[in-house]
Amino acid sequence: MIVKICGITNQEDATAAVAGGANAVGFNFYSGSPRHVTPEIAAAIATPPGVRRVGIFVDEKPARVQEIAHAASLDTAQLHGNETPEDYPEGIAVWKAARVRWGWDPASLIGCPAEAVLLDGPVGGKPFDWKMARGFGRRIILAGGLDASNVEVAVSVMHPWGVDACSRIESAPGRKDHQKMADFLRAARKALGA
C-alpha cells in the first residue's frame, strides 16, 4: 500500500513525512506548479531506502522524464498530461493520473499499462465524488482534497491501493504543515490497515 505526500520541496518536510509513516514522496517537475522543484533540488532531498521517490510530470517528453528520473533518483513517474502508453518512459514505473469530473469515462484507462492509476479531483485541492470511480477495477491511488478529516471515508468507499495528499496539508504552497501532515498520515495508515 502507498501512503504518499506530494509536493515535497525541502528536506524538513520530507523527513517529517517519512517519520510520520509516508512510504512515498512526490517531487513536482511541472514548471507551472507552485511546488515546482528542479532535478537538482529533488536529488538533494534525502529519503531512506524503501521510500518511493515519485516525479510528477505534465506532457513531458519520455527522454526528459528518464533524464530527470536518473538525476533525481526517482522510482516512479507520475504522468498528468495527455500521455499515451507509447509516451511512457522506459526503465521506470509509471502511475497515470486522471482528473475525475462529471463526464469522466473510466473506460479511457482500460488497458493502460501503468503500474497504478492516480485518480485526482477536478481542480487542485478538491475531492471528487468517490462513488464515480468505485469498482474501477485497477490498482488505484486516490488523490485530490484528502486530509485527516476525509481520508477514512474515501478509503472505505474506494478501497484504493494508496492515498496521496498535498495542498490540504500545507501551511503555504510547497510548505507542509507538520501537524496536518502527521494527522493525515496517522488517519491514512489506520484506514488502509498499514
pLDDT one digit per residue (tens) for the chain, 194 residues:
999 999 999 999 999 999 999 999 999 999 999 999 999 999 999 999 999 999 999 999 999 999 999 999 999 999 999 998 999 999 999 999 999 988 888 877 877 899 999 999 987 778 998 888 877 778 999 999 999 999 999 999 999 999 999 999 999 999 999 999 999 999 999 999 97
pLDDT of residue 98: 92
Q: How far apart are CA 52 and CA 106, in angstroms?
A: 26
The closest of 70, 48, 161, 14 to 6, measured between CA atoms, is 14
6 labelled catalytic: yes
Q: Output the domain CATH number for residue 181.
A: 3.20.20.70
pLDDT at 5: 98
Range of the domain at 96: 2-192
- Is 166 assigned a catalytic role? no
Cell numbers given for 54: 515519485
Characterize the bridge pairing of strands 175-176 and 170-172: antiparallel
Catalytic residue chosen out of the listed positions 6, 13, 147, 164 = 6
Question: What's the grid cell of residue 118?
Answer: 492516480
Annotated catalytic residue, options 13, 75, 120, 183: 120
Helix axes 151-158, 178-192, angle to 10 degrees: 30
| Maximum pairwise Cα distance, the chain | 41
CA 142 to chain centre: 8
Per the DSSP assignment, residues forming a β-bridge with 141 are 118, 162
Q: What is the DSSP string of 143-179?
A: -SS--TTTHHHHHHHH--SEEEE-GGGEEETTEE-HH
Instruction: Give the count of domains, the chain.
Output: 1
Give the other-Cβ count within 10 Å of 34's Cβ: 13
